Structure 1
Amino acid sequence: MKMLTQQDYQEIRCWVLRNARPLDLALWKYYFEDGQREDIIDALACYQNEDGGFGNGIEPDCWNRESSPYATMIAMGMLRKTGFMEQEGDRHPIVQGIFRYLESRVHCDGEGWHFCIPSNSECPRAPWWTYSEESNNIQSMGITASICAFILLYDSRKSSLYNRARSYTEMILKKAAGTSEFGEMGAAAVWRLLGDLIQCGLYASFACDSLMERITEAVDSSIERNQEKWAFYTPRPSEFIWGPDSPLYKKNKDIVKKELDYLIDTRTPGGVWNITWSWYDLGEMYAKEFAISENWWMASKALDNVCFLKNFGRIAV
């Protein structure tokens, strides 16, 4: 079995310490070096605006300072993954700010929160972050599902925001039951939402059994199984299977093993992994910004990859 050696690990660690944003560095120390969760929160707070939402380049491919639902969703994900919500819940000011932003209904309509916002088009960005109503129509299902899950898990059941999240969730599940167009992240987000409904005791309220089977199949079929395509931007197993206890792991053991081997084989000697995308034509306009964004992403992806390898016991002691 291929292993990431301690020398490999130290090379990755040094690269991350030299190149990562303070936020990703705090996450690295938390996951691998007994770092403090409070350091993550301190770094995360630098991306939060007065309205409670997040922006300011927390999404490295979009340097918009304005708060957006997508950027706020990224912050929510970090709070969940680090166990912060279970310890602090909705009492912490950073979480109260998030709920305040969502309650404001900015960049939100009758069907949910928007994928991209108009001011994106005024800042350095990847082309897919240029404002587009068509993109919102296709991609907003995934964002709304993720935001609804956070609200249903952690907000007060007496709040108007909680009731709105329940309403959005009902619409999302009805739409998911009758569509094959989920956008890039919609199927996976709905699949995770269904799991979160189980966690918060609402699964039976939405009669999800038949949908769970359908969405699980959709997510499973979205995994790219051709290793030759992994050098390009495509969904690898690690996007949906984080460890041996992941629901999709049992039927995907072989392809997970191949990705674990692939990661060990494809790391840049002495460094980390290259990203698999660029800013295309906008990369010429924002060459300096993309070079910075690329480094940020490489550190972030190094964190993800090392977590994945660690979870499957692929780092030599």
Structure 2
Amino acid sequence: MKVLTRIGLDRAAAFMRVNGRLIDRHRFALHFGGGPAGPVLAALRAYENPDGGYGHALEPDLRGEGSQPVPAQHALDVLHQCGADDDPAATRIGDYLSSITKHGGGAPFVLPSVRDTPHAPWWQTQDDPPGAINPTGSLAGMLHRAGSRHPWLGPATDFCWRHLEDGADEPGAYDALSILTFLDHVPDRDRAEAAFIRVRDALAAALDPDAEGAHHTPLDFAPTPDGYGRRLFTADTIDAHLDALVDAQDDDGGWNVAFPIWTPITRPEWRGHITVERLRTLRAYGRLKP
């Protein structure tokens, strides 16, 4: 069993100082340097808009200033990492989502306003985009995890249940990730368990790490050992990918990304984000040596 040693963590720290965005340097300090949550929250505020949503490249492939649904997902995750689930920003996110959610409770993947801003070429949408399980499932799951009672959550949760009952036969990888986040945190645990059993094979089929151009590994579906994603894979598969993750640390101390880079700044921004997340996964599985 391979583990990341203190030398490896020190190399990651050096990488973050040279390459990481301020918010990710503060996240690294929070998780691995005994740093406080306050600087992370202060950095997050710079990405927030008056409508309660987030932009300004919090999602590195969306470079525009205006709010989009997926960056709100990043913001909720940062709040949770900081132990700030009850921060008023979570309520403001719910208000923002209420303003852009479609009839039926689903939030669109991306809004048409993306066309007027710099963005990665795969962020495309129609003129009137429908609600989608990605990102609605992740957003609802994260707000449930936060203990939110925002009015947006009721219709959004119903939307996710309907999707699981009617439309989860062939989810893509990102849809599967959103479904897993929803099932991990929705309060009705009996219904979540029944839904997972029903769609388990479809979720597992959404990941083919050996496919040409694949962007995900089993550890993206199972970043910790205690979620539904872990139940999609055998122990041997997880152990093999954890060994590979230790080996994947680059010579500069960071981890790389598997998806296309469309403009140079996004590589270091994504690498700083991913490096913190990879280290969190290694620690969750006991692969980070004290």
Give the TM-score band, short-chain normalised.
Answer: 0.7 to 0.9
Q: Which amino acid aligns with 1:154?
A: G
Segments of structure 1 that go 5 or more residues without pairing to the other structure are: 284-289
- Normalising by structure 2, report the TM-score: 0.87
Aligned residue number for residue 37 of structure 1: 37
Match of 1:97 among 89, 92, 95: 92
Unaligned runs of 5+ in 2: none
CA shift, 1:95, in A, is 2.6
Tell me if the contact between 1:3 and 1:264 (Cα under 8 Å) persists in the aligned partners. yes
Q: The residue matched to 1:65 in structure 2 has which SS?
A: coil
Distance 1:210 1:266, change over 3 A: closer
Cα distance in 2 for residues equivalent to 1:71 and 1:243: 22
Equivalent-residue separation in structure 1 for 2:61 and 2:209 (angstroms): 26
Cα deviation, residue 65, structure 1? 0.6
Separation in 2, partners of 1:113, 1:183: 17
Could you tell me which residue of structure 1 aligns to residue 7 of structure 2?
A: 7
State which of 118, 129, 143 in structure 1 corresponds to 2:135.
Answer: 143
1:249 and 1:175 mapped to 2: Cα distance?
Answer: 22
Residue 264 (structure 2) pairs with residue 316 (structure 1): no
Q: Match for residue 147 of structure 2?
A: 154
SS in 1 for 2:241: helix
SS for the counterpart of 1:30 is helix
Q: What is the identity, as a one-letter code, of the residue corresponding to 2:148? A: D
8 Å Cα contact 1:176-1:182 kept in structure 2: no
182, 194, 197: which one pairs with 1:213? 197
1:191 and 1:215 in contact (8 A); partners too: no
Task: Provide the C-alpha distance between the structure 2 equivalents of 1:120 and 1:97, rounded to a whole number of angstroms.
Answer: 21
1:235 alignment partner AA? H
**Which position in structure 1 is the counterpart of 2:223?**
242
RMSD over equivalenced CA pairs, Å: 2.5
Aligned equivalents of 1:83, 1:27: Cα separation in 2: 12
Alignment of 1:271-310 (within 5 A): 271-279=253-261, 283=262, 290-310=263-283
* Identical amino acids, percent of aligned pairs: 22
| Corresponding residue to 1:263 among 245, 249, 261 | 245
Contact kept, 8 Å, 2:224 with 2:281, in 1: the verdict is yes
User: Take 2:89 and 2:162, find their aligned partners in 1: how far apart are those partners?
Assistant: 32
CA distance in 2, matches of 1:208, 1:265: 35
Give the count of matched residue pairs: 286
Distance 1:68 1:294, change over 3 A: same
Name the structure with the higher helix share: 1
The residue matched to 1:216 in structure 2 has which SS? helix
Classify the secondary structure of the residue corresponding to 2:264: helix
* Equivalent-residue separation in structure 1 for 2:116 and 2:64 (angstroms): 8
Residue 203 of structure 1, CA deviation: 4.4
Q: Is the 8 A contact 2:134 2:174 kept in 1?
A: yes
Instruction: Give the conservation status (yes or no) of the 8 Å contact 1:116–1:130.
Output: yes
1:113 partner SS: coil
Amino acid at match of 1:214: R
Tell me whether 1:253 sits opposite 2:235 in the alignment: yes
- Structure with bigger gyration radius: 1
Aligned equivalent of 1:177: 165
CA contact (8 A) 1:69 1:143 kept: yes
Cα distance 1:246–1:114, how it changes in 2: closer, same or farther (>3 A)? closer
In structure 2, do the counterparts of structure 1 residues 6 and 173 end up closer, same or farther at CA, with 3 Å as the change threshold? Answer: same
Please say if residues 142 and 181 of structure 2, whose CA atoms lie closer than 8 Å, have aligned partners that are also in contact: no
